[in-house]
Amino acid sequence: MPSANLDAVIIGGGHNGLVCGFYLARAGLNVRVLERRGVVGGAAVTEEFFPGFRNSTASYTVSLLNPKVIADMRLHERGLSIVERPIANFLPQPAGGYLKVGGGLERTQAEFRKVSAHDAAALPAYYAALEAVADVLRELALKTPPNAGGGPRALLALAAQGRGLARRPIATQRDVLDLFAKSARAFLDGWFESEAVKAAFGFDAVVGAYASPDAPGSAYVLLHHVFGEVNGKKGAWGHAIGGMGAITQAMAEACEEAGVAISLDAPVAEVLTEADAAVGVRLESGETVMAARVVANVGPRILYERLIDPAALPDDFRRRMRGYRTGSGTFRMNVALCELPDFTCLPGKDPAEHHMSGVIIAPTLDYMDRAFSDARQFGWSKAPIVEMLIPSTVDDSLAPPGAHVASLFCQQFAPVLPDGRSWDDEREAAADLIVETVTAHAPNFRASILGRMILSPLDLERRFGLAGGDIFHGALSLDQLWAARPVLGHGDYRGPLKGLYMCGAGTHPGGGVTGAPGHNAAREILADRSLLGRLLR
Ligand SMILES: Cc1cc2nc3c(=O)[nH]c(=O)nc-3n(C[C@H](O)[C@H](O)[C@H](O)COP(=O)(O)OP(=O)(O)OC[C@H]3O[C@@H](n4cnc5c(N)ncnc54)[C@H](O)[C@@H]3O)c2cc1C
């Protein structure tokens, strides 16, 4: 395609880049997506990581993907099938025994009764409160935040979005404040007494958040993990048959059908600017692609620190972006298994519901707090936070018959190791520790591993283009959310240069496989084309 007549060039073919490209092309724009890797999908891909074994190598579970995006891109018609797990989580306990969460309210209450009658009784009200706040988030997910310093349109958005919240019952408004401002521990202390129950819910607060569950604002990350749904079931998490790549391959098909040109192995080296406008990009190959609009699916830190000449950016903006926090403290492994883990607390190697759930090794909030402080000091903790999912128990397309693949998703691993140490030298040791941590609960685990793919924070950066290995393109903290994502004054998907837009997880509503940033960015880009849209700005 000749680049001269491009309406938009999108840097990155992650799921949000694809979603944005789809909506733009559907509205008649001439769009080209430039993806650095040989596969689209960004952090939502399925790859063979060991001969005969495939897995979602980065993100691995679905919930947040917006139903409107699914419908508009006709992802189900393109073959996307998402299955629920029988229960959500299985938590082996340090003193023996286990806790199962999910599979219906009554079942979870019965489980909680093992540790606290009070907590079992509190559960319905807790779920209802969380659900009410998650509804607020759901309502905001596809709305453009009111842009600080914006024109009448921003004021209208502020009034509408503020009124939506003000209409909620006072209890919900209080819960909103709690979840946005409190630490996960303070929030959960208000509901439960058992450390095991608090850990079962508090785990979500440290996923992708390099922070203690005692950090003010950490409760928000917990909320961020419950605003999705699977097949209409709110708050549930599921598995995409064929892995996360099934989502992004279906998205790519929708894009191509709408007329988007997708170029693979096309890393962008630089955004081209003229005066105060973005006018195109230069690829590492030397090719120049000119376009009326440049849309960045890459995270803000990569866009503003690596792809744009600093002299082209306003000084204050540049300084603030230097303070933008990335680095989620995530360590990820994919393992090929010859058999399922046989847990001491629940023996058996035949597939059972606990094998189909998220197995969580993080028994208390204190354990999680220690994992963070150890990581700050030493790089990682000898008692790491581990979640393991075995998708082959619900999807036989991923491993040979009788064999399995597991995703190990581990938190509080320093994005940058202290004392000048490098992840290149230490990834194997950290991986061994993670394997030992699981083996302590399932003695056959270490010996069952046929092959493994290790992704330290540095590997996540190199392989997936995630600054600091940040799974969300930037911390989900109050100072980097909603109208302040990535920075106040640019919370409406528009960058600081004319014709420059952002459509990735570093914009509202943040990380996760949601499609929402891509959807919203496309709407703003299209609004800027209309006279009314421009007048209202
Ligand atoms: C290990 C891990 C586990 C996760 N688990 C889950 C989960 O289970 N469920 C969930 O919902 N979310 C999960 N997430 C978060 C979620 O995957 C991301 O937030 C989401 O995929 C971000 O999508 P995106 O399209 O905005 O950006 P990305 O997926 O990061 O896409 C950006 C794209 O830009 C490309 N790119 C980078 N630099 C350049 C360049 N110079 N030129 C051209 N292209 C470039 C990249 O290759 C990439 O394809 C996880 C993420 C990780 C890393």
Q: What is the pLDDT of residue 537?
A: 63
3-state secondary structure of 45: coil
Task: Among 34, 36, 270, say which to mutate for ligand 1: greatest number of ligand atoms within 8 Å of CB.
Answer: 36
Enumerate residues lining ligand 1, CB below 6 A.
11-17, 34-37, 42-44, 58-61, 64, 267-268, 297-298, 302, 330, 332, 409, 460, 464-466, 471-472, 504-505, 511-513
User: Ligand 1 mean position to 408 CA, how many Å?
Assistant: 17
Q: What is the pLDDT of residue 222?
A: 93
User: Ligand 1 mean position to 244 CA, how many Å?
Assistant: 11
Q: What is the pLDDT of residue 1?
A: 42
3-state per-residue secondary structure call for 83-105: EECCCCEEEECCCCCEEEECCCH
Q: What percent of the chain clears pLDDT 90, i.e. is strictly above it? A: 93
Q: How far apart are CA 65 and CA 51, in angstroms?
A: 30
Each residue's pLDDT tens digit, 485-511? 999 999 999 999 999 999 999 999 999
Q: What is the pLDDT of residue 533?
A: 63
Q: Indicate which atom in ligand 1 lies nearest the CA of residue 332.
A: 1
Residue 405 vs residues 244, 247, 394, 400: alpha-carbon distances, Å: 14, 19, 11, 9
What's the Rg (C-alpha) of the chain? 23
pLDDT at 4 over 80: no
Mean pLDDT of the chain: 96
User: Ligand 1 mean position to 246 CA, how many Å?
Assistant: 15
Each residue's pLDDT tens digit, 118-163? 999 999 999 999 999 999 999 999 999 998 777 777 888 888 888 8
What is the token pair recorded at 389? 């999912």
Task: Give the number of C-alpha atoms closer than 13 A to the C-alpha of residue 375, restricted to the C-beta side.
Answer: 28
pLDDT at 285 over 60: yes
User: Ligand 1 mean position to 15 CA, how many Å?
Assistant: 7
- DSSP of 142-172: TSPPPPTT--HHHHHHHHHHHHHHHTS-HHH
Burial of 469 (0-12, 13-18, 19+ CB in 10 A): buried
**Could you tell me whether strands 261-263 and 31-34 are parallel, antiparallel, or unpaired per DSSP bridges?**
parallel
User: Ligand 1 mean position to 200 CA, how many Å?
Assistant: 26
Q: What is the pLDDT of residue 279?
A: 98
Each residue's pLDDT tens digit, 197-247? 999 999 999 999 999 999 999 999 999 999 898 988 998 999 999 999 999
Task: Among 471, 473, 501, say which to mutate for ligand 1: greatest number of ligand atoms within 8 Å of CB.
Answer: 471
Q: What is the pLDDT of residue 237?
A: 93
User: Ligand 1 mean position to 462 CA, how many Å?
Assistant: 12
Indicate whether this model's pTM tops 0.85: yes
Q: What is the pLDDT of residue 535?
A: 61
User: Ligand 1 mean position to 480 CA, how many Å?
Assistant: 18
Work out the pLDDT band at 2, boundaries 50, 70, 90. Answer: very low
Residue 296 vs residues 308, 358, 379, 437, 455: alpha-carbon distances, Å: 11, 33, 31, 39, 25
